[in-house]
Amino acid sequence: MGSFPPFNLLSILGLILLATTTDAHSYSGADYYKDSCPQATTIVTDMVNNFVKANKNLAGGFLRLHFHDCFVRGCDASVLLNSPTNSAEKDARPNAGSLRGFHEIDQIKAALEAECPGIVSCGDILALAARDATVKVGGQSWSLDLGRKDGKVSISSEADAQLPSPFATYDQLVQNFSAVGFTQEEMVILSGGHTIGRSSCGAVQPRLYNFNGVAGLTDPSIDPSLAKELKKKCPENEPGTTLAMDSTKNTFDHLYFKAVLNNKGLFQSDANLLTNPVGKELVTRYSKAGSSFSSDFAGAMTKMSNIQWATDGEVRRVCSIINQ
């Protein structure tokens, strides 16, 4: 029988320390960058605040970037990757031409690379930017663990299949959200993210001119005055203009739910929240000023930021390109 080399006490302690450090470093919570990049969260917050101050539409843009990132492969910044063949997540139907904030995220990353090269992941930047932007326009903050790694894979077909559609039925929405661990109650809560941001006419034209595939039919559930207004902004078979998701598109508040309850939700998926008793009850509850919507949304966002926690991967030097 062979013999093993002797271990002294210092060697054993060193191995224990290494294992402990590795485990803690892989998932160490909000203070992950406390030693390696102490100014990281301050840099992100300050830059996001400045971006949103200059263009309040970016609040919804940052929130949507994080949302669309986390729903596909977890919060690994795969939505930021470029593809020479236009086959990455950003090229998928729900994302192409509508996601915003890429340039600003690149600027934040450049500032962090200047401060502490190779330390702060793009996935963490997206998570922080979504939270800080929401707070800037009136939303409640939420707790964030940090220490994500950036993924190396980004496939447009996965985003096409996994992201919720603005034409989805209630059951389809439940299925989309359940696939990443959310309850139907949390699905309704997170739909409230439509309180900030904007959309294109393409997301509503089928509802105005071809409802359920019937040429010339308008969704009968939509408020007639809203339908008339949308048809002016979005003529049939024309690109039209950008549309606010609710009447206070750059303020995080309860008015999205009030609009949905009054049949003035922008998307077919918004209107479909009323087709289920659970959805209708929650929409009714959150439509009232002083409801728990803001705090419930914050809790759901914390859960979203932990979808498929990414500890395998890298810290990209440039968010749109895998390290060479």
Packed helices 102-115 and 57-70: angle between N→C axes, nearest 10 degrees: 80
Strand partners, 244: 198
- Is 44 annotated to bind a ligand? Reply is no
The answer to whether 195 is annotated as binding is yes
For the record, the structure tokens of 70 come out as 């986390």
Residue 296 marked ligand-binding: no
Q: Count of alpha carbons within 13 Å of 307, Cβ hemisphere only?
A: 24
Q: Is 253 a known ligand-binding residue?
A: yes
**How many CA atoms, within 13 angstroms, populate the side-chain half-sphere of residue 275?**
13
15 contacts: CB under 8 Å, gap ≥ 6 = none
Question: Annotation-wise, does 160 bind a ligand?
Answer: no
Report how far residue 124's alpha carbon sits from residue 45's, in angstroms, rounded to the nearest whole number: 12
Length of the chain in terms of residues written: 324
Residue 25 is a catalytic residue: no
Taking CA 131 as the corner, what is the angle to CA 182 and CA 46, rounded to the nearest 5 degrees? 165
- For residues 145 and 26, is the Cβ–Cβ distance under 8 A? no
Tell me: is residue 76 an annotated ligand-binding position. Answer: yes
HSE-up (13 A, CA, CB side) for residue 174: 12
194 annotated among ligand-binding-site residues: yes
Which amino acid would we find at residue 314?
E
103 in a labelled binding site: no
The alpha-carbon radius of gyration of the chain (Å, integer) is 22
Read off the amino acid at residue 10.
Answer: L
Instruction: Tell whether residue 84 is among the known ligand binding residues.
Output: no
- Any binding-site annotation on 25? no
Among 25, 66, 68, 103, which one carries the catalytic annotation?
68
Residue ranges of the annotated binding site for Ca(2+) are 69, 72, 74, 76, 78, 89, 195, 246, 248, 253
Active-site positions? Answer: 68
Residue ranges of the annotated binding site are 69, 72, 74, 76, 78, 89, 164, 194-195, 246, 248, 253
Residue ranges of the annotated binding site for substrate are 164
Residue ranges of the annotated binding site for heme b are 194
